[in-house]
Structure formats: structure tokens, C-alpha cells
Structure 1
């Protein structure tokens, strides 16, 4: 082979190997970007729906400029990205991290609210998009988590712009949690487990007052006491039910809150640094 061709072949091989990172680290097109540019590009990827790329850029921003204001923003944005990407565990973990690191941040209420919405959506359920279902029939774990998230928001930030919506969702969730207990009590009745049914019904009456489930709980309690051959207790429960019906004290079911279209938190309250 002529010398010229040998040299050309070696040059082409060197170029190919360099492109594969053999002679050094692979070229990162973001190398040398400022924090502002990384943040802007990550936000653009988020807005375009390229969530994986957005997370990648936000993480690079946090790694390169961990103490800048953009990094703080990025951490909250990452929670939102995971929320939009329907990755609830990751969204909640990112929101929790922000709350832990920046408990005094002016927008930390947003992190609490985002957690609540993520868990609320999980309690509503994926199948609701296609098949309407009774939320009280589902595992109450996510509903309880959402209730606690919204409760923390309302307690810590009663004047937050998200507080009123959180309160409405808490009412709806509380009714669902109560109805879930009634569903369990009714299941026990069908299984002839009358004492267990009575205990569940009493739990609803004691712990979920002013919910629509109380009426059904009293009805279960009457049937359970009759089945247990406790006529006096059945009569007491029936009297309580009738008195509350006559007085109009029984609460109607809470309407389902409208679906929230949670937006990314915008950070207008300070001028951004130019790291």
C-alpha cells in the first residue's frame, strides 16, 4: 500500500476512534454553558415535552453550579418534569428534596401542593381516563397520602394561593376514605363477619363525622347489631339515624374537584444570577 494511503487510513482511524471517546472523554456540547443557558435550555426541553432531556440538563446544572439560584430552581422544576412525565415516585422524591433543602423558600408551598396533586391523581387512578370508577373502591393509600400532603400545605401556608383548592380536595378525599371504610364493613356483612362490620361502621361514625358515609355506616350498624342479636344496640343506632335524617344533619356527597392543570412554577421574584 502506498505510504500516502497508509497515512490517510491512520488519520481516518484516529478520527473515528476520537469520535468514540477512545482518546478522551466524549465531547459534551453543553460544556462551558453558563447556569442561565443550561436552565433556559432545560426549560425549553420541558416545554417541548422532551422530559428525559430536560431532566438531564437540570441535573447537569445542579452538578456544575450547585450553589447558584438556578440550581435551586432546577430542583423544583425536576419535580414538575416528573409530574408531567407521569413518574409519581420521582416527582414526590424531588419535591421532598426541595422541601428539605429550602423550607423557607417563598415557593415551597408549590412543592407541597405538587406532592398532593401527584398522590391525588394516583388515588383517582389511571383507569378513570377510560372507565369511570368509584374512587372509594380503591386502595386508600394514595388518597391518605394526598390528604396528608394537602393538610400540611393548609396548616403551614393557610394563605397560599393553593390552599383553597387543597381544602376542597381534602373534603372530597375525606369522604372517599370514609366510604372506603363503609365498603369494607359491607364486605364483612356479606361474609357474615358481623362484629367486624359493626366495628368498621362505628369507626366511620366516630372518625368521619360530617361525611356522606355516616348514613350508610349507621345502616350497616343496625343490620350488624340485629345479626348479632343485640336488639337494643340496633334500636339505638336506628334512633340516631332517624333523628339525624329528620334534623337534616346528614351530609351530602362532595362533588369531585375539577382536574387541575398544574403549571411549572415561574421564578419572577428575584433577578437571576449569571453563573
Structure 2
């Protein structure tokens, strides 16, 4: 191919690209936005996302760019593209922190992390990030339509994080590393009192302290367990464990366990 012919082809290609871009930018922002909405409503999510991306690209400072950004976050979430949804939603909250739609953006961030929470045997970074997003949503927008669901998800993430601590604590207990186990069960008792794991955590503290010969703390853990969960099987197990050694549950007001539960009704 001659140099002249090659140059002609390259010029034609550049001209075609420029014409395409000019044709896109000649479309008004409102038109692009409405086309994106129509495609979204038809279930053509990928095509809708392209429209909103074009709008954000060519009209970055318009009101429609703001609307397109929150739609982009939603579309990515709907398609299971969680990292992309998180990035778009975070960008929205950064650019428009006071906008009411920031509540929805935070909800998308929280939900995107929440949908990626693994079982308790694995790393819980996504759980912690979901908790942070839902917590910020509830704090900044307590009356938003997403706040109640965010509060429920906070309870669920707390339970998941407590479950992770329990899983590690049981591992240490099995290895007879009682001090390491106590640290994990202590975290549950202090930070996750309203979760379903606190009963077992108090029993495991009874076990660990008793195994170490710290009987007064074992008795206190059992007494607090019995006071708050008198019908629990965990309390019955703790009571029987102490009884075998000739002891019974007895609360010490000087114990960190007593101070932690003082004035708190977990029932």
C-alpha cells in the first residue's frame, strides 16, 4: 500500500471517529437522559448504562449528569457489577454530599458490599465495609426510606462479625490457647451484646477462665449468663461445668464482665 493511500485511510478513519463523537455530543443532555431511562425501563440495562455514561462524559456539569451517575450506580448493582456500582455511588456521594439521593447512593454501596459477604470462616472485610456504609446512611439520613432496611442490615452484619469472632475463639479453645480465646469471646461480649452469639460467648468465657483456674471470672461469666438468659442451654452447661468442680455461678462486681453488662438489658 502506498504512503498516500495509507494516509488517506488514516484520515478517513479519524474523520469517521470525530464525526461519531460530534454526533453524540450534538444530542442534548435531556434527550440522552430520557433515552437512558427508556432503555432501563425496557430492561436493556447495558444499553441504558452506555447512554448514562455518554451523558456523564459529554455533559459532566449538568443536572442530568448528576441523575445519570446515580442511575449508573443502580444499573451496575442490578447487573451484579458490584465494584462498578460502589465506585459510581462513592463518586456521587463525593460530588453531591448534601443531595437527598446520597442516601440511595450509600444504600447501593452498603448493599453491594452486603451481597458479597462470605461465610464466617473467611475474611470479613466486605462485612465491615457494608456496616460502615449502612452506619453512615443511618447517621446522615435517619428518616430516609432506606434507613429502616439499613438498620436491619446493621444487625445482620453485627451478627456476622460476632460469628467470625466466635469461630476464631473456638479454634483457640480447641487448641487450648485459652487467653487468645478469651480475647475473642470478650470482643463479642463487649461489642456485640445484642447478637445471638453473646450467650455462647459467656459460656466459652466460663470454660476458658475455669480451665485457667481463674474461678471467680468463670463464676461471674456464668452468673451473668444466667441472669440474662436463665432458660438458655448455654447457662445450664455453664452451671453444670462449675458444679462438677464444687462451684456455682456467683457474680463479682469487680469483674469486667459485670461492668460490661451493668445497666444493659440484652433480653
- TM class by smaller structure: 0.7 to 0.9
Q: 1:50 to 1:17 in 2, by over 3 A?
A: farther
Q: 1:244 to 1:146 in 2, by over 3 A?
A: same
Q: 1:64 to 1:23 in 2, by over 3 A?
A: closer
**Residues 20 and 26 in structure 1, CA contact (< 8 A), matched pair in contact too:** no
**Residues 65 and 71 in structure 1, CA contact (< 8 A), matched pair in contact too:** yes
Aligned length: 228
Q: Which residue is equivalent to 1:228?
A: 212
Q: Distance in 1 between matches of 2:67 and 2:175?
A: 54
Q: Which residue is equivalent to 1:95?
A: 89
Q: 1:96 to 1:22 in 2, by over 3 A?
A: closer
Is 2:169 the counterpart of 1:185?
Answer: yes
Q: 1:223 to 1:66 in 2, by over 3 A?
A: same
User: TM-score scaled to structure 2, two decimals?
Assistant: 0.76
**Residues 215 and 250 in structure 1, CA contact (< 8 A), matched pair in contact too:** no
> In the TM superposition, what whole-angstrom CA distance separates every residue of 1:122-165 from its partner, at most 9, and x where no partner exists?
11x5xxxxxxxxx4444221111111111111111111011111
Q: Which residue is equivalent to 1:36?
A: 30
- Root-mean-square deviation over aligned CA pairs: 2.6
Q: Please identify, of 50-59 and 231-240, the stretch whose mean Cα deviation from structure 2 is larger.
A: 50-59
User: TM-score scaled to structure 1, two decimals?
Assistant: 0.74
Q: CA deviation at 1:18?
A: 8.7
Q: CA deviation at 1:67?
A: 2.0
SS of the equivalent of 1:67 reads: coil
User: What stretches of structure 2 of length at least 5 have no aligned partner?
Assistant: 233-264
User: What stretches of structure 1 of length at least 5 have no aligned partner?
Assistant: 1-12, 126-134, 252-275
Q: Which residue is equivalent to 2:116?
A: 122
**Residues 182 and 217 in structure 1, CA contact (< 8 A), matched pair in contact too:** yes
Pairing partner for 1:212 from 196, 199, 205: 196
Is 2:145 the counterpart of 1:161?
Answer: yes
Q: Which residue is equivalent to 1:56?
A: 50
SS of the equivalent of 1:72 reads: helix
Q: CA deviation at 1:79?
A: 0.8
Q: Which residue is equivalent to 1:46?
A: 40
**Residues 185 and 196 in structure 1, CA contact (< 8 A), matched pair in contact too:** yes
Q: CA deviation at 1:19?
A: 11
Q: Distance in 1 between matches of 2:199 and 2:100?
A: 43
Q: CA deviation at 1:41?
A: 2.3
Q: Which residue is equivalent to 1:196?
A: 180
> In the TM superposition, what whole-angstrom CA distance separates every residue of 1:16-70 from its partner, at most 9, and x where no partner exists?
9599726542652635211122112223333444444333322221222222211
Q: Which residue is equivalent to 2:59?
A: 65
Higher helix share: 2
